[in-house]
Amino acid sequence: MEVSHENPQSRQAAQSLVFASGLTFGYFIIELAGGFMTGSLALVADASHMAGDFLSLLFAWFASVLARRSTNLIKTYGYHRVEVLAGLVNAMGLWVVSGMILMNAFKRLANPPPVEAGPMMLIAFFGLAVNIACALLLKKDSQKNLNVRGAYIHVLSDLLGSIGALVGAAVMKWTGNYLADPIVSGFVCLLIIASSLKLMLNSLNILLEGVPPHLDIEAIRRELRAIDGVHDIHDLHVWSLGAGMDMLSGRLVLESGAAAKSFGILDAAGRRMQERFGISHATLQPEIVKSKN
């Protein structure tokens, strides 16, 4: 039986990514100029994340478009793993940018330069509004798509950066302590690194064809063994083609008297995998136990 591997989530995700990338690019230009004009590392750091967001959103959009391409004789599963790769690259990019800003913030701790807190606060406020809008655009798709989740975490990191810039600007405006700028920048970067760790681990798990974290392979094994006529299950493998696209393969060892109804058993097993675990693509092969006689 031919099974489609098309993921309908990719089309909707692509539209959200286009809108979010437009908003992000527009504000990146404003924030970068504002960061240099005010001398704020927090704004420059946030603008750097905005640039990373824009590139990650474009990359995620390209991946979602590519993932919708039809399967062929060479790419029999299609291009769904491209979205997983995009999520992994986005997570790694966050770590690189955050590391660079952390080093710059550490250097500024010894001799923090003066910052124009008033304009910095205004620019950070508008940045917060843009990041909230982008986060709302991507939130729904990020729950089902690792590619979009990578872009979503980028946007959330910028949202944190805008909040941090606002807090830092307020502290500097009312206390005159310019240490707030590098301290806030460093704290936000640490939060970003921590928040992207799960995305990186989930992406690696899919690429290494590990069992999806929301599935219990032993529970699946017990469910298959409970089917009438099934003696055991051999070579059971459970993995994901992409987020929300779980797959299964294995050999059902049938009792010697169950050979005549093997097709019915396989059909029952496939339906159970779909109903109990949400696995719509299960490939099962019957294997008959030889009689001792």
User: How far is the C-alpha of 89 from the C-alpha of 93, rounded, in Å?
Assistant: 6
Average pLDDT over the chain reads: 82
The reply to whether 273 and 129 lie within a common domain is no
Average pLDDT over residues 281-293: 77
Query: pLDDT class for 224, splitting at 50, 70, 90?
Result: very high
2 in any annotated domain: no
Q: What is the pLDDT of residues 234-252, one digit of tens each?
A: 999 999 988 778 999 999 9
pTM for this entry: 0.71
The reply to whether 75 and 184 lie within a common domain is yes
Q: Which of 207, 238, 262 is the last residue of a domain?
A: 207
The reply to whether 175 and 246 lie within a common domain is no
Range of 266's domain? 217-288
The reply to whether 142 and 279 lie within a common domain is no
The reply to whether 177 and 247 lie within a common domain is no
| pLDDT value at 209 more than 90 | yes
| pLDDT value at 87 more than 90 | no
**Order of strands, sheet of 230-242, starting from the edge strand that comes earlier in the sequence:** 230-242, 245-254, 281-288
The reply to whether 133 and 260 lie within a common domain is no
281: how many CB neighbours lie within 10 A of its CB? 16
Task: Of 81-85, 156-160, 175-179, 220-224, give the lowest mean pLDDT range.
Answer: 156-160
173 in any annotated domain: yes
Q: Which of 207, 229, 253 is the last residue of a domain?
A: 207
Among residues 188, 179, 228, the alpha carbon closest in space to that of 40 is found at 179
Q: What is the pLDDT of residue 151?
A: 77
What is the radius of gyration, based on Cα positions, of the chain? 25
3 in any annotated domain: no
What total of structural domains would you count in the chain?
Answer: 2
Q: What is the pLDDT of residue 216?
A: 95
User: How far is the C-alpha of 154 from the C-alpha of 53, rounded, in Å?
Assistant: 5
